[in-house]
Chain A
Amino acid sequence: MPFKPVLLWTDLLLWLLVAGTAIYVWYCYRRPHLAAPWGRVFQSRTAIASTVVLAAFVGMTLADSLHFRPRIGSGSEGAAQYSNEVLSVLDVAFAYLRERRERTYSAPLATRLYAKDQIESSTGAPTRDYPKLTYGGAHLQDESAHGRDIALRAGLGASLAVAAAFLLSLLRRRLSRWRPNVPWSAGLWTFAVLLLLTVPLLVLSTGYHVFGTDKVGQDVFYQSLKSIRTALVIATLSTVTMLPFGVLFGIVAGYFRGWIDDVIQYLYTTLNSIPGVLLIAAAVLMMQVYIDTHPQLFPTAADRADVRLLLLCIILGVTSWTGLTRLLRGETLKLSQLEYIQAAHAFGVSSARILGRHILPNVAHIVIITLVMDFSGLVLAEAVLSYVGVGVDPATISFGTMINAARLEMGREPIVWWSLAAAFAFMLVLVLAANLLADAVRDGFDPRVRVGSVPV
């Protein structure tokens, strides 16, 4: 085999989450009363538009979650050996970005480095000038054609995008017939805009560094694409990993009351009263020690980075878990007073059955709303935590690490703005889409539930 598949913990959980979502969709599809709120959500134009944007991000994430170790050597001699470097499908697709390293900073679409250096001029005498890039614009015979080449490539990309968008728009009528209430045109327009932005970028990226390069000459566009997975992993898995505990404790406390309620309340008040950053810092340092003392459990650097990411998710989950539990407890308290549950109780229906059949489905909307509301807050939290130094592993590419590195670049003159700008743009689009979808979901499910943001 030319590669050996690697299943990282976060990959596993992400794919489980995908499977879970698929099952949930299928389950809802079969039950009109569960599908109804979703129907309301997708009557909103912003919901459709932001779903399209988020779907693009999720696609990137999933492509970046199929990991493997490539085979090294010719493979003829002895048993097959695999590299210690873990790559993903996304890495392969964008291998041309990953491998084209310049020496140091270069501006977006530039053909020369950003800093002067000694170079041999055509006459052979050393002079001081901006050296040519090794890859960016290397296909140009003549540098004066630079502007025209960019325009040409951008134009080509744009026309491809328009063509693709046109083909897709033919689907519209079919879709409208299938679900007349959904504003399909909003989705298609968003998709068209997305194509118009990304296709020219992709076409340009084959010849240039579209977002420039960073200090060691790595392509910033590639880094931004890689950051998406980190952001999405944190945004989803943080809530999901702690969800079972949050839900269980919440409804159990609200339903049984008495000493169980006291214990659970004590637990979350105690956890809540520790300032979030301190709790996260202590926990992150702690797991770092665990990783360091058990190197045999984590054979590759990717494994270590991944475990750190997962544990960061878990600890972020703990800090946001308490809020969900409190909400669920309150709601369950209310529900358990209702007559039909009192009646079920009187008929001797077991507690587990009441919780599973009656309480849980009726608090599900709170869980869903928390999930989407927390999403954007967690993306932002990652950046802050990485700045404080208790975020993701330094080797993991994330928006936080990008911003942190870019911070120092603001001191340069002339200023190196592109890393920061790229992180800003990607984060803005992601968080904005998440916020808009969250609003629509909340309105669709229950406009009255207000959920706080992640405490950081």
Chain B
Amino acid sequence: MLAYIVRRVLYAILILIGVNLITFVLFFFVNSPDDMARMQLGAKYVTPDALQKWKADHGYDKPLLWNSKASGPGKATETIFYEKSLRLFAFDFGAAEDGRNIGNEIRTRMGPSLALQIPVFVVALCVNITFALFLAFFRATYLDFWGVVLCVAMMSISTLFYIIGGQYLISKVWHLFPISGYAGGLDAWRFVLLPVIIGVVSSFGSSARLYRTLFLEEYSKDYVRTARAKGLAERVVMFRHVLQNAMIPILTGVVAAIPFLFMGALLSESFFGIPGLGSYTIDAIQAQDFAVVRSMVFLGAVLYIIGLLLTDISYTLVDPRVRFD
């Protein structure tokens, strides 16, 4: 067990270094520190001295990856890459290029993101499983057929249409919800309800159809036939055997997605003006704020690794044959 944890952690660190290197190279291929300084200082009356001053102040006046002027280990450490990456591992994200503390920003933005993402996640899971179960129960009838048609049709529609259409009809024409905006605390539900509905609807088609296949696979197994042959009611077969067993692949698949709820929803957040991490990411891409992009990539990578870990653990929990080794 201990060996497993140590190996996992070492591997995670290796991956995080790789991730950092990739983002770093990609970003600085696009942006020189000069560009970043100009972006921050604006377009008017910028003098070369001011640029130099900004770079020195923000630690961008060193070489990128290799400092040939320094001596000894300084060759690798007195560089932008080393200095900007090392602190990330302590989750010290530092300040964005505009001076705001990124750690603080991530903490305050996590709330709105989760307020949107958790309901979408939970409600979508419930709705999709219920509907899939419904289809599986009525398998090979016209209900099942049209249900699948509905799923395929719904998954063929781009999320953008759901958002644009929903916002237009429900908020603009029917005046049922605020068009966009957000408020903290208990009042949040008024703002989150519409994006949640849209989030659930847009995930409906593909997930419900996938779960239906899982249920049908379970239905075709021998033990279900046996159970039915014993004369158990269809209802009992469905809930006690099929649902319970099919939940294993569903849940292990879903567990990996949980950490990503923290990253926020890119589209919904920017359309509905929810100040979460998704819109933070988009803003940072558009403003070319390297510090924020790098922090979000790092955060995403960490969450991904956690997701992998959770999947492993959930496998061992549901299937005792799998061991940590």
Taking beta carbons and an 8 Å cutoff, which residues of A are in contact with B? Answer: 266, 269-275, 277-279, 281-283, 285-286, 288-289, 376, 380, 383-384, 387-390, 399, 403, 407, 410, 415, 420, 424, 427-428, 431-432, 435-436, 439, 450, 453
Contacts and interface: CB of A to CB of B under 8 A. Distances in A.
Contact of A274 (B30, B164, B301): B301
Q: What is the predominant secondary structure among interface residues of chain B facing chain A?
A: helix
A384 B19 contact: no
20 contacts: A266-B14, A269-B15, A269-B308, A274-B19, A274-B22, A274-B297, A275-B281, A278-B23, A278-B293, A282-B27, A282-B30, A376-B156, A384-B158, A384-B159, A384-B160, A387-B160, A410-B168, A424-B157, A428-B153, A435-B152
Contact of A270 (B22, B29, B158, B168): B22
A240 to B, nearest CB: 22
B155 interface: yes
Contacts of B152: 432, 435-436, 439
A231 to B, nearest CB: 11
Interface in B186-236: 206, 210, 213
Contact of A277 (B161, B266, B286, B305): B266
Given A278-B296, A286-B29, A387-B267, A270 B156 contact: no
Contacts of A272: 304
B23 A273 contact: no
Q: What is the predominant secondary structure among interface residues of chain A facing chain B?
A: helix
Contacts of A450: 210, 213
A273 B302 CA distance: 8
Given A275-B263, A277-B281, A282-B26, 11 more contacts: A269-B308, A273-B304, A274-B19, A274-B301, A278-B285, A285-B30, A289-B30, A380-B159, A384-B158, A403-B161, A427-B157
B26 A275 contact: no
Contact of B15 (A270, A285, A428): A270
Contacts of A270: 15, 18-19, 22
A282 B156 contact: no
A274 to B, nearest CB: 6
Q: Which 10 A-B pairs have the closest CB atoms?
A: A273-B304, A431-B156, A275-B300, A270-B18, A282-B26, A273-B301, A432-B156, A281-B285, A285-B30, A286-B29
Interface of B: 11, 14-15, 18-19, 22-23, 26-27, 29-30, 152-153, 155-161, 164, 168, 206, 210, 213, 263, 266-267, 281-282, 285-286, 288, 293, 296-297, 300-301, 304-305, 308
A278 B15 contact: no
Nearest to A400: B160
B266 A428 contact: no
B44 to A, nearest CB: 23
Contacts of A275: 263, 281, 296-297, 300
A282 B158 contact: no
Contacts of B30: 282, 285-286, 288-289
A383 B296 contact: no
A271 B304 CA distance: 11
A270 B22 CA distance: 9
Nearest to B270: A388
A384 B300 contact: no
Contacts of B168: 410, 415
Contact of A282 (B155, B206, B293, B308): B293
Contact of B19 (A273, A286, A428): A273
A435 to B, nearest CB: 5
Nearest to B167: A410
A283 B15 contact: no
A388 B266 contact: yes
A345 to B, nearest CB: 26
Given A278-B285, A278-B293, A450-B210, A384 B267 contact: yes
A266 B15 contact: yes
Nearest to B205: A435
B258 to A, nearest CB: 15
A277 B18 CA distance: 18
Interface centre among A277, A278, A285, A415 (most CB of B within 10 A): A278
A439 B293 CA distance: 38
Contacts of A427: 156-158
A273 B15 CA distance: 8
A274 B161 contact: no
B98 to A, nearest CB: 19
Interface centre among A286, A289, A389 (most CB of B within 10 A): A286
Contact of B285 (A269, A380, A388, A435): A388
B303 to A, nearest CB: 8
Given A269-B15, A286-B30, A435 B155 contact: yes
A266 B308 CA distance: 13
A436 B205 CA distance: 13
Nearest to A277: B266
A281 B300 CA distance: 15
